[in-house]
Structure 1
Amino acid sequence: MRFFIFLTGFGFAVTGGVSFIMYFNLLAAGMTWPDYASFTLRRPECNLFFVGWILIFFGLKE
């Protein structure tokens, strides 16, 4: 069961991380860093990054 939680967390973290990288293009379009942070933290796919890290932690915890 822990391995399944770990893999699910890993998948969520990868999905969220890719979304963060994808939204870096907004900086080139003229968005500022505070605007970028505010925008990405409101996006559900970016929140998967943090949920994924929590699941990875619980998957590795003994």
Structure 2
Amino acid sequence: MIVRVLFLFIGFGLAVAGGVTLIAFLNLLTMGHTAVDYFHFVVHRPESYLFVGGLLLMWLSLYFPSI
């Protein structure tokens, strides 16, 4: 049980860190870049994978308690 809560908190922290950077990178749109440029830039940044990894950790800790 404590391992699940630990994974939940770690996943939440990673998702918050990744989500904040994704929102911060939205400033590229105000500087004249297109949405395609934004998506291409975000896909190649490691911070975007923090968001996905955090969501995955939270999902696993909530829906698969036996892991």
TM norm structure 2: 0.88
Gaps of at least 5 residues in structure 1 are none
Shift in Å at residue 28 of structure 1? 0.5
- State how far apart, in whole Å, the 2-side matches of 1:4 and 1:41 are: 28
Number of residue pairs the alignment of both structures matches = 62
Shift in Å at residue 44 of structure 1? 0.5
SS at match of 2:7: helix
Of structures 1 and 2, the one with the larger relative CO (CA 8 A, separation 6+) is 1
- State how far apart, in whole Å, the 1-side matches of 2:61 and 2:8 are: 4
CA RMSD in angstroms comes to 0.7
1:8 matched to 2:42? The reply is no
**Percent sequence identity over aligned pairs:** 42
Shift in Å at residue 56 of structure 1? 0.2
TM norm structure 1: 0.94
Runs of 4+ in 1 over 2 A off after TM superposition: none
Cα deviation, 1:8-60, whole Å, max 9, x if unaligned, reads 00000000100011001100001100110110111101110000000001111
SS at match of 1:31: coil
- Counterpart in the other structure of 1:19: 21
Gaps of at least 5 residues in structure 2 are none
Structure ID, larger Rg: 2
1:40 matched to 2:42? The reply is yes
